Structure 1
Amino acid sequence: MTRPIVILRPQPGTTTTAQRVRAAQLDPIAIPLFVVVPLDWTPPDPSAFDALLFSSANAPRHAGPGLAALAHLPVVAVGPGTAHTAQSAGLTVIETGNQDLAALVARQPAHQRLLWLAGRDRIALTHPAIRKIIPVYASEPVRLTLADADRMAGGVVLIHSSRAARQLRAELDRLGLPRTSIRVAAISARAANAAGTGWERIAVAAAPNDAALIAVARSLAIDP
């Protein structure tokens, strides 16, 4: 019997990944560990910047009316999904990465003046091109219930970030539940390391994107 695939992402990522899981002929279970909320922020003087940096589609999705003051600035987006959301918001994307934020930023010239509209909780990243960071949204944790934890047992959990890995581990520990019946598919080695040990099995996607993550999850789901 094929194991179900557990999705921890907040909406709308939950629905997007669930559609991809179904397309792979696997059964998704949605148990979001976070809910995304907008933050109050004040747009800076746009003349101080050459472009916007988006490390998540949540930035253009939740930036709110303040984004209008910066709408003439082009966008450097971490991946295709983020680029699509930025374009849907009326912005112009000039560069799209492959979901590897560090590699994307490393390619930027030092004289580039980037304004990073980010999440409140984000990876630590420095580069001369990043001139200012403004949090415009936050991913607030959601408590795991015993019922949700029971649904995870025997499944394959998709870990999309290091923070999600830490949150899942902390919630299972809070509930006093073992991890030995859960398999983990991590989107990166960093996320896998954050998940720690004690899982039935853990595997890392070949690339930091949903397609590769679901592919490695499939191998975990059908392997006895």
Structure 2
Amino acid sequence: MRPLIILRPEPGAGRTAARAARMGLTARLCPLFEARALDWVAPSPGRFDALLLTSAQTVRMAGPQLDQYRALPAYAVGGATATAMEAAGFDAVTAGETDGSAIAARIAADGYRTVLHPGGVDTASIEPGPLTLHAIAVYAMIETAADGLNGLTGGEAVLMVHSPRAGKRLSALIAEERRGRLHIVAISDAALAACGEGWASVQAAERPDDDRMLALARRLCE
């Protein structure tokens, strides 16, 4: 069985590894980034008519200031983000299953126009359409040393890539001549494209969630 290498930061890496273990897969963790909270000034909730989060990390890193926006209609990209928001006290979160641009279109269709979008320093671009998006950075993803990556990728393996930034860093860390026995499972087409070429195989999940990624990875690992 090929090992599964999980490159996402904690706490998501541990959750993915636990799911993989329940599927009988051999998971190894090598986060390429770690999240660090930033100081941020929370704008008045009265300025906005909706809230959009594109990462569960935002819920963890934003701190108690995020509570000010519980009364706003809440939207999320992906089930994991929606679940984190609901656990933090947001009611009736509307989850989109593709990307930020798709959920922005849903927000606009629901009649909202001025949207607060707290998130990371580096986030995927969103096509806002008629929306006015106020993006504010509440955390940054910092590169880890990733010391164990070379040892984990010395033979055949399946690598899970959860973001375009992780794909870009993976491409920089592993030379093309070492990629022929490594398989990529990415969370999106954008994350897949960032990995570059030369891998044994590449696949992107139909929707951005762990269950779909792990379903693809399982077939490759076995």
| TM-score, length basis structure 1 | 0.90
- Preserved CA contact (<8 Å) 1:73 1:92: no
Bigger CA drift: 118-127 or 102-111? 102-111
The 1:205/1:126 distance shift into structure 2, 3 A limit, reads closer
| 1:111 to partner: Cα distance | 4.2
**Structure 1 residue runs without a partner (length 5+):** none
Determine the structure 2 residue equivalent to 1:191: 191
| 1:131 to partner: Cα distance | 3.0
| 1:73 to partner: Cα distance | 2.3
In structure 1, C-alpha distance between the alignment counterparts of 2:12 and 2:98, rounded to whole Å = 15
In structure 1, C-alpha distance between the alignment counterparts of 2:220 and 2:68, rounded to whole Å = 47
Determine the structure 2 residue equivalent to 1:122: 123
Secondary structure of the structure 2 residue equivalent to 1:72: coil
C-alpha distance after superposition, 1:202-222 (max 9, x if no partner): 222233221111111122222
Q: Report matched runs for 1:210-221 at 5 Å.
A: 210-221=210-221
Q: Within the alignment, does 1:73 sit opposite 2:72 as a pair? A: yes
In structure 1, C-alpha distance between the alignment counterparts of 2:42 and 2:69, rounded to whole Å = 7
Secondary structure of the structure 2 residue equivalent to 1:108: helix
C-alpha distance after superposition, 1:114-134 (max 9, x if no partner): 100111101121313243110
In structure 2, C-alpha distance between the alignment counterparts of 1:202 and 1:163, rounded to whole Å = 16
Determine the structure 2 residue equivalent to 1:152: 153
**Structure 2 residue runs without a partner (length 5+):** none
In the comparison of the two structures, how many residue pairs are matched? 218
In structure 2, C-alpha distance between the alignment counterparts of 1:166 and 1:197, rounded to whole Å = 11
| TM-score, length basis structure 2 | 0.90
Identity among equivalent pairs (%): 35
Determine the structure 2 residue equivalent to 1:3: 2
In structure 1, C-alpha distance between the alignment counterparts of 2:71 and 2:207, rounded to whole Å = 32
Determine the structure 2 residue equivalent to 1:85: 84
- Preserved CA contact (<8 Å) 2:77 2:99: yes
Determine the structure 1 residue equivalent to 2:60: 61
RMSD: 1.8
Moved over 3 A (4+): none
| 1:20 to partner: Cα distance | 1.3
